[in-house]
Structure 1
Amino acid sequence: MNERDSAPGGLALVEALVNTLNVETGADTLDTAAGCAALAIAGPDVPAARTLREALRAVCLAHAGHRPPEGASASLLDALLADAPLRVAVDADGAASLRPVEEPPGLTARVAVAVAAASADGTWARLKVCEAADCRWAYYDRSPAGRRRWCSMSVCGARAKMRTYRAKRG
């Protein structure tokens, strides 16, 4: 299995949003038309999408047991998602699901639905952000114990272990 397989269900949207910024290079796909189109957002919505992205990154850092950067917190995500009212929709078969009140739903509303559904099925806490300060890539932790620390053991994990090894020898 590829270490960077997408998160399941609606969490794939959250993971994709967090990963629009490459922390190491500074490249932000929200600066491109293709990046905005992939998330179905318009140019005027990009600043709000960036704020949402960094609030999500802070929570995913907390999921991995790390402190978020100065000024970022879960309370910001809570405030942002409060602006995305949801409703319970019941289909003809009687199955209930959450849906955004607004149609078509904006990015924040779609993220709110994904977070609510992932919380309900127990997968929300497994969406994490890489421990490497120069990476911070979002990944879905599929490990049995749920204790993965890096997005990729072959890249970020190997770098961290090499730094630790060199520090002990130096």
Structure 2
Amino acid sequence: MTNADTGRTVDPAGPPLLADHLALDLLNTEARADGAAVEFWHTGDDVLRWLARQGIVPAPGAPVDPAALLAQARALRALARELVGRHKEGKPADAGALNAYLHAYLSAPHLARDREGRLVLGRVPRGDTIAALLGPVAEAVAQLLADGDFALVRQCEHPDCVLWFYDRTKAHKRRWCSMALCGNRHKAAQFRKKASQGAAA
């Protein structure tokens, strides 16, 4: 799959889910490769696929306007990026726009049986389909802002990466979005640097 904005090839499965927090996975639907921006959301279907990977799907038969979903999802992402960034910097931010997403997300208690046959109390969305799809994402952003430990909210240390993550490691020393991605890229770059220094000496 080629990114229409950059001409670069990107993972057809979509953006990586490696942030360990839904709100930060939202931010990671925009990335960077070789210094250029990578946009993972080009259509409403891209957003629907990402939501489905997060376990968020529309109710059976619920109509979804793909263009409206794309526009609102991108707007929520931009808002979340601003709020998370300001909170990380210790700056105040207006939560009014985020509250608009939260207030539109209507749900009701629902009793059902789980896979083991036990009764569990959950909630089911009501009302507007797009609000029902983006509501859980907006709620995750709100929960991160209200309850998250922002000392553990970090961006990957690789200079060509902008991905965010919530450091849930025991020692809280996670540096990379993924050891398999940026961690190995850093190690390889360090190895090449040492090799070239050794050759020059």
1:87 and 1:34 mapped to 2: Cα distance?
23
What TM-score comes out, normalization by structure 1 length?
Answer: 0.56
Structure 2 residue aligned with 1:137 = 163
Closer, same or farther in 2 for the Cα pair 1:60/1:152, shift >3 Å? farther
Q: CA RMSD in A?
A: 4.5
Structure 2 segments unaligned to the other structure (5+ residues): 1-15, 52-57, 59-64, 112-118
More strand by share: 2
Q: TM-score, normalised by structure 2?
A: 0.50
1:156 paired with 2:173, answer: no
CA distance in 2, matches of 1:157, 1:75: 33
Identity %: 27
Q: Which has the higher contact order (CA 8 A, sep 6+)?
A: 1
2:66 is matched with 42
Structure exhibiting the larger radius of gyration computed from Cα positions: 2
CA distance in 1, matches of 2:134, 2:178: 28
Equivalent in the alignment of 1:109? 135
Unpaired runs of 5+ residues, structure 1, are none
Deviations 1:77-133 (A, max 9, x none): x23311021568545589586x7674435254222222355678x567455432445
Residue 6 of structure 1 contacts residue 140 of structure 1 at CA under 8 Å; is this kept in 2?
A: no
Q: Does the aligned pair in 2 maintain the 1:7–1:140 contact within 8 Å?
A: yes
Answer with 88-97 or 104-113: which moved more: 88-97
Equivalences, count: 152
